[in-house]
Structure 1
Amino acid sequence: MHSYIVLLRGVMPSGKNRIPKMAELREAIEAAEFADVTTYIQSGNIVLRSPHSPEQTSTRIAEIIRAYCGAELGVITTTAEELRAHLASSPFGADYLEERVFYPTTMDTIDPERLAALCEEDYGAEELRVVAGRLYLYIPTDASRSKLSNNFVEKKLKITATTRNRKTLARLIELAEALSPA
């Protein structure tokens, strides 16, 4: 069994991508072949143990969600180690507000030409940086009004991604590390 962090893309408080109750979703996932399933906040963060690869885990979780509530969500499966490396490689230092740095995560391969074109654009006070293939966003004002939104990055790079802040990722890493050993 592998310990994974599963990030759901597109969970909404209402509408077609609403997860009615994370506790019920947790039970549905655990009733399948997964163990030690924990959910964190309503926006779609799951920590679990899986007998599958990250890709297979994503596919299976998407199927379970579809059967549970009909939502069609992107599902990105990663590890505590990968997220720890993502946090550690942040190019935004002490001159930046930590709570305004965001970490897009994807399982897709990013096309280097699209990425280069995206990095050349001017975002004003907002910043996009790439370190070792990982994306970082600095959004000093209201993220809901940002040009550098998750949707914008996905559209430009033709990938599925989901973005979290440092506090959420750090908590997910803690939860994953606390899972019982396989």
Structure 2
Amino acid sequence: MTIYVSMLRAVNVGGSSPIKMEALRAVYESLGLSDVRTLLQSGNVLFRSGLTDRQQLVKRIMQEIERQLGFKIEVILRTLEEIASIVERGPVLSPRADRNKLLVMFLKSVPDAAAQAALLKWHKAKEMKEMLEMRGPEIYLYYPEGIGRSKLTSAVIEGKLDTPGTARNWNTLTKLVETGRLLDGRARQ
């Protein structure tokens, strides 16, 4: 069975979409998913499933969250191995990047070439200090002065690329991999 990591978009951020992680775990368990674990309060859920149709799995999760919790929330799904590969590769923008200022934005789908070009053109025209690199359904983002006042926001990125996404900082990604590896190790004992 595959270990998946689902990341909910905009959960418990600034008072929007408040979800208790205990209730979220119960939603996943009600779907028959096993070894369900949440990490932090931002909608990170690790679980094990034999289902391989990701679109169907995401659809079921989103429908059940809406049914049980009353929220229509985007769910972005990756395997533990995909997240681990990102972490093991390390920061792609700069090997010496301050990992506290590095995020990876996980997109629901790979944007088309025109949308990617539009985002890169906008970014270049703004002469921003922030760095970005697109790799398939992920965008690596580096905010040397922090994300707080940056104009390179998730809303801008989603608008330019015409696909929803959710960002996680490097520390969260590392913790997701650690938690997933513990889950994986326990299953092999």
Structure 1 length normalisation: TM-score?
0.88
* Runs of 4+ in structure 1 over 4 Å off: 13-16
Letter in structure 2 aligned against 1:130: M
| Residues 117 and 78 of structure 1, relative CA distance in 2, 3 Å threshold | same
Correspondence list, 1:38-57, <5 A: 38-52=37-51, 53-57=53-57
Letter in structure 2 aligned against 1:160: P
Shift of 1:16: 5.7
| Structure 1 partner of 2:23 | 24
| Residues 94 and 105 of structure 1, relative CA distance in 2, 3 Å threshold | same
Counterparts of 2:13 and 2:120 in 1: how far apart (Å)? Answer: 32
Shift of 1:116: 1.9
| Residues 15 and 165 of structure 1, relative CA distance in 2, 3 Å threshold | closer
Equivalenced residue count is 181
| Structure 2 partner of 1:181 | 187
Letter in structure 2 aligned against 1:105: F
Letter in structure 1 aligned against 2:103: F
Choose between structure 1 and 2 for higher RCO, CA contacts under 8 A separated by at least 6 residues.
1
C-alpha contact (below 8 Å) 1:37/1:48 kept by paired residues = yes
| Structure 2 partner of 1:75 | 75
Stretches of structure 1 lacking an aligned partner (at least 5 in a row)? none
| Residues 102 and 36 of structure 1, relative CA distance in 2, 3 Å threshold | same
Percent of aligned pairs with the same amino acid = 31
Correspondence list, 1:97-116, <5 A: 97-116=98-117
Stretches of structure 2 lacking an aligned partner (at least 5 in a row)? none
Structure 2 length normalisation: TM-score?
0.85
C-alpha contact (below 8 Å) 2:99/2:171 kept by paired residues = no
C-alpha contact (below 8 Å) 1:16/1:70 kept by paired residues = no
Counterparts of 1:133 and 1:58 in 2: how far apart (Å)? Answer: 16
Shift of 1:76: 0.7
